[in-house]
């Protein structure tokens, strides 16, 4: 009798990010320093380029590969910018953000409490990929067990902030 195989490989989720970058080996080193990534495996391809690598950041796995000219997947530099932002949720936003910047990430949006109890900021890593670093503290201890999502913010303040953020993103040259 044939064994049933799992449609989702062990340790992965239904959706797994696969990044295409220039200089994947350097990117892996950066992700280790900036985000505490653990290298699971790497397969080198022609000319020392990485054909496939797997990293674990927190409880998530990302795939990573060098850009190959014959491939349809392109690095952000080739595209003139990135088409996505990776959201990294952490316990200590301040320390994690500082660690990313110290490792070489560029601050594209300084840390701020965008919503009450939701500190966040954006960084751009050397390959021009954007990393959102934040922490979700909507469920406070005093509301634990109620099942109610606490989303305490001033709508007019949120609209003003959204406008400022949009203007800020238009200023960023990627």
Task: Please report, for residues 4, 10, 61, the alpha-carbon distance to residue 132 in angstroms, rounded to integers and kept in the order given.
Answer: 38, 26, 17
Q: What is the pTM of this model?
A: 0.72
Taking alpha carbons only, the member of 79, 75, 81, 107 closest to residue 94 is 107
**Angle, to 10 degrees, between the axis of helix 93-103 and the axis of helix 24-35?**
150
Contact 75, 21 (CB under 8 A): yes
More confident residue, 131 or 146: 131
- Each domain of the chain, given as residue ranges in start order, spans 9-68, 77-174
Q: Does domain 77-174 have CATH number 3.30.720.110?
A: yes
Q: Which of 37-46, 50-59, 71-80, 114-123 has the lowest mean pLDDT?
A: 114-123
Angle of CA points 119, 135, 172, to nearest 5°: 55
Q: Which fold has domain 9-68?
A: 3.30.720
Judge whether 9-68 and 77-174 match in fold. yes
Residue showing tokens 């953000």: 97
pLDDT 10s digits, 80-113: 888 888 888 888 888 898 999 999 999 888 887 6
């Amino acid at each position: 009798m044939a064994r049933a195989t799992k449609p989702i490989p062990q340790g992965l989720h239904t959706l797994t990010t696969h990044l295409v970058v220039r200089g994947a080996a350097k990117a892996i080193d950066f992700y280790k320093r900036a985000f505490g990534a653990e290298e699971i495996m790497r397969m080198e391809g022609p000319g020392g380029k990485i054909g496939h690598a797997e990293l674990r950041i927190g409880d998530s796995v990302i795939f990573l590969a060098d850009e190959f000219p014959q491939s349809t997947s392109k690095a952000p530099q080739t595209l003139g910018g990135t088409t996505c932002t990776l959201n990294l949720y952490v316990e200590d936003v301040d320390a994690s953000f500082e660690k990313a910047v110290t490792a070489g990430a560029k601050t594209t949006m300084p840390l701020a409490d965008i919503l009450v109890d939701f500190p966040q900021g954006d960084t751009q890593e050397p390959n021009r990929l954007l990393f959102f670093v934040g922490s979700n503290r909507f469920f406070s201890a005093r509301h634990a067990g109620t099942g109610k999502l606490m989303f305490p913010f001033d709508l007019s303040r949120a609209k003003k902030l959204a406008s400022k953020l949009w203007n800020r993103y238009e200023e960023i040259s990627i």
